[in-house]
């Protein structure tokens, strides 16, 4: 639709200038153009309400006048004035051709729009807490964050992925005590993270009965903060074994980060935060702690505890300061569960005392809902937590079984099972509106029909093999000599929305918008495919339909890849 919008804008700009002496750039006019709410009201609409005030006339009159003076060629089949809008009906035939030709021309670059102009966007995501295995909750931040990372790159920004590891805090003082106490009971190397988290649960329980253990844990953390070599060596060990496991998971998921600067990284960067807040006169003493008071009904944000230790929020404040300086970001996104809404509200509020307004304006928290099992909420104490590693293995094994049962010509079944299994997990997760809690059911996720990852991958495979079977080199088809039918026009117009969908998904931080769109594309393709033969005698029809299938493939592949899902070419 971009080409045709440009054309309409150009013609409108002439009328606006000649008739009303209003000078507007094409970009400004394009921004005014809307999609009519009702499909029967045309394809593009110009609302004339904004002109009413300047021109001291009614929107209806203005719309009529503009319409009368507009000179439009056969790219537009009809213009109609309806209650203050001019509705443009595009000539489907011409429009469809130009849409397809544009997609084929851009190939896998279709979807890219340079609105970001190389500005930096930081995306803080995944960020697991070390000494614990990766569980389903962190899976969500990982794949939502990664999608946003890809989308902002696609919009011409420079995405910077930050894994703000949870590697600092009193809990490590506690883990150290537990480790010293219980380590001889285990063969830690065998499964370090499960054992460390078990030790954590045990020592936590003891500490609840014996307050002195918590005191010692705080003490240990204080020593860590001050650089105690022995304790730091233990902490480093916890971190190393954790990173080893996380790296393996990131590799399977295909996730990359530009920075692993976690909470510990800010240990020597918090003094400055305290100093700035102090200097601004906002740091006050409250029950021995140093806090910043926020609005009336809100609890204050603790900066230093009474023993002088820092907390989670202090480290996030240091991170805002550091990221503003290091990345000069245009936007800074944080993806965590909704349990941290309050935390980020406080941090963003206090940031206003630390950095320039341009860095606080675009601080964005992206919260998401919890994952529940069919059997109820996950709890580490009750041993009902699902660990991602186990889930990934199960998904891959089940996919493999399904593939083998269905029969396949693919040689590397393990690779295919991995692409399908992981793709299914990601697709299912991103399909839901992110703020909603989701109930997890692996069998449902792995179905090969319905709104699932495997189904969409399968649609892609069908397109791919269809084009192969045709024996025609799709790159040699340059022109469309055919008038598209209703199913086809519908699909083409949908493909044309891809750029807008990418923009909308990123702007709302809502991957489900893109997922829903891909489902829509696949289902419209199915309708087209079921109702129309593609490999027919008539060359013009065959080529036009192959181009349409190929364009659909480009959009599905690109869409899935943006979500971090691979697209096998055979299944």
Q: Which residues bind ligand ARG (CB under 6 A)?
A: 124, 127-129, 164, 166, 316, 319, 334, 336
Burial 254-286 (b: 16+ CB within 10 A, else e): ebebebbbbbbbbbebbeebbebbeeeebbeee
**Cβ distance 180 to 190 under 8 Å?**
no
Q: Which residue is nearest to ligand ARG (CB)?
A: 166
Q: Considering beta carbons, is residue 65 or 310 the nearer one to ligand ARG? A: 310
Using alpha carbons, select from 146, 118, 152 the residue that is nearest to residue 327.
118
Residue 336: CB minimum distance to ligand ARG, A: 5
Q: Considering beta carbons, is residue 336 or 399 the nearer one to ligand ARG? A: 336
φ/ψ of 76, rounded to 5, equals -110, 130
Q: Considering beta carbons, is residue 214 or 334 the nearer one to ligand ARG? A: 334
Reported in sequence order, the residue ranges of 238-324 that DSSP labels E, i.e. its strands, are 283-286, 289-292, 301-304
Burial of 338 (0-12, 13-18, 19+ CB in 10 A): middle
DSSP 463-499: HHHHHHHHT--GGG-----S---HHHHHHHHHHTTHH
Residue 119: CB minimum distance to ligand ARG, A: 21
φ/ψ of 397, rounded to 5, equals -60, -45
Residue 209 CB neighbour total at 10 angstroms: 7
Q: Considering beta carbons, is residue 266 or 529 the nearer one to ligand ARG? A: 266
Q: Considering beta carbons, is residue 132 or 398 the nearer one to ligand ARG? A: 132
Nearest-angstrom CA–CA distance, 331 and 460: 34
Residue 334: CB minimum distance to ligand ARG, A: 5
Residue 314: CB minimum distance to ligand ARG, A: 11
Cα→Cα distances 303→291, 309, 323, 441, Å: 5, 9, 19, 41
Q: Considering beta carbons, is residue 127 or 551 the nearer one to ligand ARG? A: 127
Residue 339: CB minimum distance to ligand ARG, A: 8
Q: Considering beta carbons, is residue 363 or 463 the nearer one to ligand ARG? A: 363
Residue 136: CB minimum distance to ligand ARG, A: 13
Residue 166: CB minimum distance to ligand ARG, A: 3
Residue 124: CB minimum distance to ligand ARG, A: 5
C-alpha of 249 from chain center:
18
Q: Considering beta carbons, is residue 265 or 334 the nearer one to ligand ARG? A: 334
């Amino acid at each position: 639709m971009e080409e045709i919008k440009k054309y309409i804008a150009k013609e409108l700009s002439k009328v606006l200038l000649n008739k009303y002496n209003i000078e507007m750039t094409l970009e400004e006019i394009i921004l005014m153009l809307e999609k009519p709410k009702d499909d029967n009201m045309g394809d593009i609409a110009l609302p004339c309400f904004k002109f009413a005030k300047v021109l001291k006339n009614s929107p209806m009159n203005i719309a009529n006048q503009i319409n009368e003076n507009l000179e439009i060629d056969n790219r537009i089949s009809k213009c109609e004035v309806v209650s203050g809008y001019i509705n443009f009906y595009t000539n489907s035939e011409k429009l469809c051709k130009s849409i397809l030709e544009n997609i084929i021309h851009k190939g896998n670059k279709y979807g890219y729009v340079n609105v970001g102009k190389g500005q930096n966007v930081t995306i803080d995501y995944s960020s697991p807490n070390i000494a614990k295995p990766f569980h389903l909750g962190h899976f969500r931040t990982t794949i939502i964050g990664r999608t946003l990372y890809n989308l902002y790159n696609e919009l011409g920004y420079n995405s910077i992925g930050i894994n703000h590891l949870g590697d600092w805090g009193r809990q490590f003082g506690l883990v150290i005590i537990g480790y010293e106490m219980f380590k001889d009971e285990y063969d830690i190397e065998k499964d370090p993270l499960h054992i460390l988290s078990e030790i954590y649960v045990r020592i936590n329980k003891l500490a609840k009965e014996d307050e002195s253990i918590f005191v010692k844990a705080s003490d240990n953390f204080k020593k860590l903060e001050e650089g105690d070599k022995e304790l730091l060596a233990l902490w480093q060990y916890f971190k190393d074994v954790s990173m080893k496991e996380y790296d393996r998971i990131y590799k399977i998921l295909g996730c990359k980060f530009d920075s692993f600067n976690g909470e510990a990284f800010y240990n020597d960067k918090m003094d400055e935060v305290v100093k700035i807040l102090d200097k601004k006169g906002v740091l006050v003493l409250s029950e021995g702690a140093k806090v910043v008071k926020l609005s009336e009904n809100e609890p204050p944000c603790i900066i230093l505890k009474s023993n002088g230790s820092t907390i989670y929020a202090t480290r996030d404040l240091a991170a805002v300061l550091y990221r503003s300086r290091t990345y000069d970001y245009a936007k800074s996104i944080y993806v965590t569960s909704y349990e941290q809404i309050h935390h980020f509200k406080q941090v963003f509020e206090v940031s206003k005392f630390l950095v320039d307004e341009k860095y606080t304006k675009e601080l964005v928290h992206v919260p998401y809902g919890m994952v529940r099992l069919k059997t109820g909420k996950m709890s580490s104490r009750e041993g009902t937590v699902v660990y991602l590693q186990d889930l990934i293995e199960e998904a891959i094994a089940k996919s493999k079984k399904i593939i083998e049962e269905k029969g396949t010509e693919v040689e590397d079944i393990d690779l295919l099972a991995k692409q399908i299994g992981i793709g299914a997990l990601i697709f299912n997760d991103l399909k839901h509106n992110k703020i909603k809690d989701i109930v997890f059911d692996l069998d449902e996720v792995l179905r090969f029909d319905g709104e699932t990852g495997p189904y969409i991958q399968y649609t892609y495979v069908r397109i791919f093999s269809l084009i192969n079977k045709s024996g025609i080199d799709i790159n040699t088809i340059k022109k469309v000599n055919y008038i598209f039918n209703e199913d086809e026009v519908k699909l083409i117009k949908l493909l044309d929305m891809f750029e807008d969908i990418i923009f909308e998904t990123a702007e709302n931080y809502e991957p489900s918008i893109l997922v829903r769109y891909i489902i829509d594309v696949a289902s419209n393709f199915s309708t087209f495919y079921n109702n129309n033969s593609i490999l027919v005698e008539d060359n013009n029809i065959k080529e036009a339909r192959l181009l349409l299938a190929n364009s659909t493939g480009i959009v599905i592949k690109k869409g899935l890849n943006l979500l971090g899902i691979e697209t096998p070419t055979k299944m």
